[in-house]
Amino acid sequence: MALTSLDDLVAAQGDLRGRRVLVRSDLNVPLSGTTITDDGRVRASVPTWQRLLDAGARVVVVAHLGRPKGAPEAKYSLAPVAERVRELLPSTTVHFADVTVGGSAQEAADALGDGELLLVENLRFNAGETSKDDAARAAFAGELAALVGGPDEGLFVSDGFGVVHRKQASVYDVAQLLPHAAGGLVEAETAVLQRLTTDPARPYAVVLGGAKVSDKLAVIENLLGTADRLLVGGGMVFTFLAAQGHEVGKSLLEADQIEIVKGYLATAAERGVEVVLPVDVIAATAFSADADHEVVAADAIPADRMGLDIGPASSALFAEKLADTRTVFWNGPMGAFEMAPYAEGTRELAKALVEVTRAGGLTVVGGGDSAAAVRSLGFADSDFGHISTGGGASLEYLEGKTLPGLSVLS
């Protein structure tokens, strides 16, 4: 898919001094109170902002945080994010408007100087952002476009890859009102995903974890036609083990997906895709860091215990299966990594990906949980080929779906 790039937009528009540019970023960061616990998405957004600021543009950033229901909620305010933006752009005047459109937000946008940035309050404090009604979304998109002077003066840059699978006002509708382009982050994410889906270097392994197999049904089905190996961990693995007839105790299980998983295992066998499941797990008496836990065989989980991580033999097996790969896509942690006793599976998997990166392979860490996991476990972004900000958008791309926020930019 060919996207209009930021360079294309700058070349077409010429001097950006005096011009306002609306940038849709993905600043949906995890918070503990008002403290950002992982600022990866903010840092990933900076290069596109900086490119525009260096060109003299007056930048208006719009984004969402959390899932407010179309009305302001203090816990979802972007105010803490504005503070972090100021720290990341120390030489830039950064303003924050406590409303999204109209009123003080419009006044602040109108008053911007060249090379200044305005972040406005959470888009989802406005029902029009996520409305299923085309007219309501279009009306809100018009208010967003007004922040940058409307279609005669304003420009739009879409740089929130994590939302391009949503047909929302700030993603889809506003792009139909303003001259537009993909930001650097959206370009980079799309380029990596194209490499994963169009003639990837082989062997190509996909590692899936996380809680539920139902969240990844479509991507598993699609990848069975592309990947050479599928490694499965996390909570979703217990549905795979149950599909093979094994006891999973009190582990997370989606019983209604067992027959579907059986079908996937049969399809994988027919197509020569190697499915690698854990051979041991860390089984605990409760979902707690303090619970009694032990390493047990994956096919012999006690009835009174739940699996909360892959075991050491499984980590070694997964590392072995990744050692010769040239392309790896990983989405979802191997266990409940937030609790120290169940973090080793995810840590060891990350180490295995680092080795693939060092050997010249492409490693892609996709999904917010996976990105948060590797950072919390002490890995640097540079240890991997690419850490995606995409989450659900990345998965839908890999499913082969058309993403509205990309199609409108092509």
**Which segments of 121-251 does DSSP mark as H helices, in order?**
134-146, 184-197, 217-223, 237-243
Q: What is the pTM of this model?
A: 0.85
Do residues 352 and 206 both lie within one domain?
A: yes
Confidence at residue 79, expressed as pLDDT on a 0 to 100 scale: 97
- Same domain? 207 vs 319: yes
- Binding-site residues for ATP, in ranges, read 216, 307, 338, 367-370
User: In terms of domains, do 332 and 213 share one?
Assistant: yes
62/143 same-domain check: yes
Is 368 in the active site?
yes
Residues 208 and 356 in one domain: yes
- 19 catalytic per annotation: no
Q: Is 392 a catalytic residue?
A: yes
pLDDT at residue 178, as a whole number: 96
Looking at 159, 183, 207, the residue that finishes a domain is 183
The pLDDT of residue 1 is: 64
Among the candidates 136, 158, 183, a domain finishes at: 183
Give me the catalytic one of 368, 385, 391, 405: 368
Q: Please identify which of the residues 167, 212, 351, 375 carries the catalytic annotation.
A: 212
CA–CA separation, 97 and 95 (whole Å): 7
- Indicate if 166 and 307 belong to the same structural domain: no
299 and 377, same domain (yes or no): yes
pLDDT at 368: 64
Catalytic option among 41, 84, 229, 347:
41
For 17-62, give the DSSP string.
TT-EEEEE------EETTEES--HHHHHHHHHHHHHHHTT-EEEEE
- 51 an active-site residue? no
Task: Answer whether 124's CB lies under 8 Å from 150's CB.
Answer: no
Pair 121, 237 in one domain:
no
The answer to whether residue 405 sits within a structural domain is no
Residue 404 lies in a domain: no
The rounded distance, in Å, linking the Cα atoms of 318 and 314 is 6
Binding site membership: which residues?
A: 26-28, 41, 64-67, 124, 166, 216, 307, 338, 367-370
Residue 335 belongs to some domain of the structure: yes
In a domain, 407, yes or no: no
Residues 230 and 169 in one domain: no
Structural domain tally of the chain?
A: 2
Binding residue numbers for (2R)-3-phosphoglycerate: 41, 124, 166
DSSP assignment string, 106-123: HHHHHTPPTT-EEEES-G
Q: Is the domain of 239 the same as that of 321?
A: yes
Note every long-range contact of 71-75, with CB atoms under 8 Å and residues 24 or more positions apart, other chains counting. Answer: 71/125, 71/127, 72/121, 72/122, 72/125, 73/125, 75/31
CATH, residue 360: 3.40.50.1260
Residue 408 lies in a domain: no
pLDDT reported for residue 100? 98
* pLDDT of 216: 85
In terms of domains, do 62 and 101 share one? yes
Would residue 286 count as lying in a domain?
A: yes
Domain-ending residue, one of 183, 208, 232: 183
Q: Mean pLDDT for each consecutive 10-residue tract of the chain (410 residues)? A: 85 90 96 91 95 96 96 97 98 97 98 98 98 97 98 96 94 96 94 90 95 85 91 96 95 95 95 97 97 96 97 98 97 94 97 97 86 89 88 84 91
178 and 204 both lie in a single domain: no
Query: What gap in Å lies between CA 98 and CA 161, rounded to an integer?
Result: 24
Q: What pLDDT score was predicted for residue 217?
A: 84
Residue 274 lies in a domain: yes
Residue 340 lies in domain: 191-399
In a domain, 409, yes or no: no
Q: For the chain, give the number of residues.
A: 410
